[in-house]
Amino acid sequence: MAKHRASRSIMRRVDVGFSLIELLVAMSLLGIGLLAIGKMVASSRRHMTYSRAETSAVSLATEIKERIFTENFDDIKPVFDNADTDDPSTINDSTDDWANHVDDLLGATGRGRVNIVDDSEDPTLPVDLVRVEIIISWSEGGTDRSLPHTILLSKVGI
């Protein structure tokens, strides 16, 4: 019986290790998992870059809206209408800093435009109400992106 016990313990030691096929399957699964993680990291970087640009665009739209809010109602159209950061002739003292911020935050492909529409251009608008259209656009990875903002402003008081 002693011989029989000894052969069983030897058999158990042999069964404890991995076979070459098991090792290859495990390595393949590990490789597939690492590739999936790598793809996920690359995708998250792209989304992070887009998110940064979109956050900058929202900030730029807010900046120009705040500048518009500081103007007298009657001065909004003459000062801000048709301002386009791609056309320096449309940029004035009130929009110059904003145009520089568009370039700083969104790079060479960044563009900011402001259009002021009043009742003479859109008869559906009541008198003393203007529609302010702000469009921030940029190019990202060969794709053109834009973020439009529209607000309505009315003249208060007499």
pLDDT (tens digit per residue) in 17-67:
678 888 899 999 999 999 999 899 888 877 776 788 889 999 999 999 999
Chain position carrying tokens 């009541």: 126
Q: Give the pLDDT score at 7.
A: 55
**Residue 5, pLDDT above cutoff 60:** no
Instruction: For the chain, count helices (H), then strands (E).
Output: 4, 4
**Max CA pair span of the chain:** 114
> From its phi and psi, is residue 128 left (phi > 0), alpha (psi between -120 and 50) or beta?
left
**What is the number of residues in the chain?**
158
With a threshold of 0.95, does the pTM exceed it? no
pLDDT in tens, 84-112: 999 999 999 989 999 999 999 998 999 99
